[in-house]
């Protein structure tokens, strides 16, 4: 493995014996996410493995250079315990085909605990329907619990609400406000 963003043993240590009402049909698991697929942390060389091509299916990413990517990767790596970018790799093509980010915010409230936030959930169009999004969100949720977050949040488009409700997320009537620059 080429310089991962976080220690892969964290993923290997997650307990999936209780899938919390999430069912996979056909059955896939963290250790066996599908034929020729593997789940792992983002790596420093994933710029050349289609990471941005997958992200472009979610939002605008611009045209970052390899140097831009590696600089940001190194900045995230330096913030140990904050960024957990989980990817699915097609082991035949060595290309990233799905991704999900878990960001850990350290708080002063609630006994100096942590809050988790799921971001940037995306599955390549060629791999949709294989339950990879579901597996990535469940993995991020389990990881947030393991890292002792007191809550886990995410933002999503209105049409995605039913998908996230399956994981126990609910609209808590708070207003999400944004100011873009």
Each residue of 42-66: pLDDT tens digit?
Answer: 999 999 999 999 999 999 999 999 9
Residue 172 reports pLDDT greater than 90: no
Q: How far is CA 102 from CA 2, 37, 111, in A?
A: 20, 20, 21
> What is the structure's pLDDT at 14?
93
**Structural domains of the chain, with CATH:** 9-165 (3.40.630.30)
pTM of the model as a whole: 0.92
Mean pLDDT of 28-48: 95
Half-sphere exposure at residue 73, Cβ-oriented, CA atoms within 13 angstroms:
20
| Mean per-residue pLDDT of the chain | 92
* Burial class (CB within 10 angstroms; exposed 0-12, middle 13-18, buried 19+) of 141: buried
Question: How far is 83 from 133, CA to CA, in rounded Å?
Answer: 18
pLDDT per residue as tens digits for the range 103-153: 999 999 999 999 999 999 999 999 999 999 999 999 999 999 999 999 999
- pLDDT(1) > 70: no
């Amino acid at each position: 493995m080429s310089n991962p963003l976080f220690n892969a043993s964290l993923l290997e240590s997650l307990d999936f014996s209780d899938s919390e009402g999430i069912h996979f049909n056909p059955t896939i698991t963290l250790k066996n996410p599908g034929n020729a697929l593997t789940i792992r942390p983002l790596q420093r060389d994933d710029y050349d493995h289609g990471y941005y091509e997958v992200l472009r299916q979610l939002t605008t990413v611009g045209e970052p250079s390899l140097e831009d990517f590696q600089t940001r990767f190194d900045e995230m790596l330096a913030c140990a315990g904050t960024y957990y970018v989980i990817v699915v790799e097609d082991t035949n093509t060595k290309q990233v085909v799905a991704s999900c980010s878990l960001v850990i915010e350290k708080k002063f409230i609630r006994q100096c605990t942590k809050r988790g936030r799921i971001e940037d959930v995306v599955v390549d169009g060629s791999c949709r329907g294989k339950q990879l999004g579901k597996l990535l969100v469940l993995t991020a949720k389990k990881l947030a619990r393991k890292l002792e977050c007191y809550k886990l949040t995410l933002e999503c488009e209105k049409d995605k609400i039913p998908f996230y409700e399956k994981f126990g997320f609910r609209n808590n009537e708070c207003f999400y406000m944004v100011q873009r620059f």
